[in-house]
Structure 1
Amino acid sequence: MESSNSTHGPYSINETTTQNSQTDRVEKSINLPIFMFAGGAVGNLIAIIVLSVSRQQRKSSAFYTLVCGLAVTDLLGTCLASPITIANYLNPNVLLDQHVCEFQSFLLLFFGLTGLSIICTMAAERYLAICCPYTYQRWGVDRRFAQKLLLFIYISHIFFCCLPMMGMANSKLQPSETWCFIDWRKHDPVSTTYSVLYSVVSLLLILGTILLNLAVCGALLMMRQRVVQLPVTRGSVRERWRALSSAAETQMIAVLVMTSVVVLACSAPLVVRVFANCFSDEKNFKADLAAIRIASVNPILDPWIYILLRKSLFRRFLGLSRRGSSSRSSSPPLTQTTLFTTSIVKDSSVFTQLMCNASIITQLPATVTFTPRDTERASSRLDSAE
Structure 2
Amino acid sequence: MSKSEETCEYLDEAYPGTPAVSASMFAAGVLGNIFALFLLEIRRRRKNRSLFHVLVTTLVITDLLGTLAVSPLVLAAYIKRQTLEEIGGRALCNHFGFSMTFFSLATMSILLAMAVERWLSIGHAYIYEKYTRKRCGYFAGPVIYLFCFAFCTLPFAGVGKYVMYCPGTWCFFDMHPSDRRGQIYAGVYASVMLVMIVCTVLCNGSVSHHLLSMYRRRKNNHGSFRGPRGQKRYKSITKEVEHLTLLIVMTVCFVVFSLPLVVQVYTNFTRVEKCDRQDLRMLRLLSFNSIVDPWVFIILSPSVLRFLWAKLLRQPTPTSMERVFQNARPPAGIRPPPLADAHKHAVSPQTPIALCP
The TM-score normalised by the length of structure 1 is: 0.74
- State the partner residue of 1:43: 32
Counterpart of 2:122 (choices 130, 140, 145) is 130
Q: Percent identity between the aligned chains?
A: 31
Q: Which runs of 5+ in 2 are unaligned?
A: 1-10, 317-324, 330-337, 343-357
Q: Distance in 1 between matches of 2:225 and 2:95?
A: 65
Contact 1:195 1:278 in 2 (8 A): no
Q: Distance in 2 between matches of 1:234 and 1:132?
A: 23
Counterpart of 2:113 (choices 121, 134, 137) is 121
Contact 2:97 2:173 in 1 (8 A): yes
- Seen in structure 2, the aligned counterparts of structure 1 residues 28 and 227 have a Cα distance that, compared at 3 Å, is same
Counterpart of 1:94 (choices 84, 93, 111) is 84
- State the partner residue of 2:286: 295
Q: Relative CO higher for 1 or 2, CA cutoff 8 Å, sep ≥ 6?
A: 1
Displacement of 1:221 after TM fit? 1.3
Displacement of 1:247 after TM fit? 1.4
- Seen in structure 2, the aligned counterparts of structure 1 residues 59 and 25 have a Cα distance that, compared at 3 Å, is farther
Q: Distance in 2 between matches of 1:338 and 1:314?
A: 20
More helix by proportion, 1 or 2?
A: 1
Check if 1:274 corresponds to 2:249: no
Q: Distance in 1 between matches of 2:162 and 2:264?
A: 16
How many residue pairs get matched?
313
Q: Deviations over 1:94-138 (max 9, x none)?
A: 334211111100001000111100001100000000110111011
- State the partner residue of 2:302: 311
Check if 1:255 corresponds to 2:246: yes
Matched residue type, 1:194:
Y
Matched residue type, 1:268:
L
Secondary structure (helix, strand or coil) at the match of 1:245 reads helix
Displacement of 1:228 after TM fit? 3.0
- Seen in structure 2, the aligned counterparts of structure 1 residues 237 and 94 have a Cα distance that, compared at 3 Å, is closer
* Greater than 4 Å deviation, 4+ residue runs: 22-28, 233-237
The Cα RMSD (Å) is 3.0
Q: Distance in 1 between matches of 2:207 and 2:30?
A: 32
Displacement of 1:249 after TM fit? 1.0
Q: Distance in 2 between matches of 1:132 and 1:168?
A: 40
- State the partner residue of 1:187: 178
Contact 2:225 2:234 in 1 (8 A): no
Secondary structure (helix, strand or coil) at the match of 1:54 reads helix
Check if 1:165 corresponds to 2:152: no
- State the partner residue of 2:99: 107
The TM-score normalised by the length of structure 2 is: 0.80
Contact 2:111 2:251 in 1 (8 A): yes
Displacement of 1:227 after TM fit? 2.4
- State the partner residue of 2:350: none
Q: Distance in 1 between matches of 2:326 and 2:298?
A: 36
Matched residue type, 2:296:
I
Q: Distance in 2 between matches of 1:293 and 1:202?
A: 17
Check if 1:223 corresponds to 2:214: yes
- Seen in structure 2, the aligned counterparts of structure 1 residues 34 and 316 have a Cα distance that, compared at 3 Å, is same
Contact 2:98 2:152 in 1 (8 A): yes
Counterpart of 2:145 (choices 126, 148, 154) is 154
- State the partner residue of 1:174: 165
Q: Which runs of 5+ in 1 are unaligned?
A: 1-21, 326-335, 341-375, 381-386
Contact 2:83 2:168 in 1 (8 A): no
Secondary structure (helix, strand or coil) at the match of 1:177 reads coil
Contact 2:96 2:171 in 1 (8 A): yes
Q: Distance in 1 between matches of 2:130 and 2:179?
A: 47
Displacement of 1:262 after TM fit? 1.0
Between 1:202-211 and 1:80-89, the stretch displaced more is 80-89
- Seen in structure 2, the aligned counterparts of structure 1 residues 141 and 31 have a Cα distance that, compared at 3 Å, is same
Displacement of 1:238 after TM fit? 3.0
Q: Distance in 1 between matches of 2:49 and 2:299?
A: 22
- Seen in structure 2, the aligned counterparts of structure 1 residues 80 and 242 have a Cα distance that, compared at 3 Å, is same
Secondary structure (helix, strand or coil) at the match of 1:339 reads coil
Q: Distance in 2 between matches of 1:309 and 1:235?
A: 27
Q: Distance in 2 between matches of 1:235 and 1:313?
A: 24
Contact 1:88 1:178 in 2 (8 A): yes
Displacement of 1:218 after TM fit? 0.6
Matched residue type, 2:193:
S
- State the partner residue of 1:323: 314
Check if 1:77 corresponds to 2:61: no
Secondary structure (helix, strand or coil) at the match of 1:246 reads helix
Between 1:177-186 and 1:195-204, the stretch displaced more is 177-186
Displacement of 1:281 after TM fit? 2.1
Q: Distance in 2 between matches of 1:46 and 1:324?
A: 29
- Seen in structure 2, the aligned counterparts of structure 1 residues 24 and 109 have a Cα distance that, compared at 3 Å, is closer
Q: Distance in 1 between matches of 2:301 and 2:225?
A: 34
Q: Distance in 1 between matches of 2:191 and 2:13?
A: 41
Displacement of 1:180 after TM fit? 0.8
- Seen in structure 2, the aligned counterparts of structure 1 residues 323 and 280 have a Cα distance that, compared at 3 Å, is same
- Seen in structure 2, the aligned counterparts of structure 1 residues 246 and 324 have a Cα distance that, compared at 3 Å, is closer
- State the partner residue of 1:7: none
Counterpart of 2:21 (choices 32, 36, 59) is 32
Contact 2:93 2:162 in 1 (8 A): yes
